[in-house]
Chain A
């Protein structure tokens, strides 16, 4: 059974960097058949895909067009986890952030982490 455990601060000041980590159990961040994603959810923007990292002989990253210039996802093979960094945050980035595995079944997201509510406020 695969589980994802998220960690990171729930409050970030405007213009600073939002950082979250997702620890993986029951699978490997280096698996060549899945991808590791970040998705957020807010009342104003709904569910929004942010990006992913995956390994296929080398590491690849894809980022959503809305956050591409501010977003970095890094895998950590030594700890079997991956992280999210979102720079220059504004109150618009306030949301519930999820880490999610993408299965090789039509891009299905399963499972999801427990979610981390991040508030951007001074």
Chain B
């Protein structure tokens, strides 16, 4: 059974700092991996999707990497801003399945 773990559960940083969020998964036979952002009381917003054949994806100040063989992904946020404060969720789509398996998220607070 696929399990997704995100460390740390919470992170507080000063504005302007570069930071890395970590995601690990137990079964490397994934189809793709997505990073989402969830604001309090809101739904999820997809940030980046990495196919299993890809190593990284970039969007603005965000860069996500994938090392499928070791079961790891990282989300790098450059020059963090208070508006980046949210919970960041990692999810994988298992090969042969259509459903997303989520981690429990990292709650990020960027202090002005």
A and B interact: no
